[in-house]
Amino acid sequence: MFKLKDLHIRLTSSCNMSCPHCYAADWFKDHTKLTYDEVQSIVFQAKNLGCEKVILKRFS
């Protein structure tokens, strides 16, 4: 069975940096945000997969 060791969650897709070398610049155009319920669901699912560590980030 697959075991998830750790999980990194970006709470928002926005980024306040404009790095010319950024490979993910297109990802940050939508400015979407995860709700509390979405984050809670993701964390519970990760726990069920054996996740031992969750890291929450505001932006990249």
pLDDT in tens, 44-57: 999 999 999 999 98
35 domain-assigned? yes
Contact predicate 54/6, CB 8 Å: yes
Judge whether 1 lies within some domain: no
pLDDT at 59 over 70: no
Tell me if residue 12 falls in helix, strand or coil: strand
pLDDT classification of 1: cutoffs 50, 70, 90? low
Number of domains in the chain: 1
Q: Is 9 left (phi over 0), alpha (psi -120 to 50) or beta?
A: beta
Read off the amino acid at residue 11: L
Structural domain boundaries enclosing 17: 6-57
Site of tokens 């319920």: 37
Angstrom distance (rounded) from CA 51 to CA 60: 21
Is the pTM here over 0.85, yes or no? no
pLDDT per residue over 8-42, tens digit each? Answer: 998 887 777 778 887 777 766 777 788 999 999 99
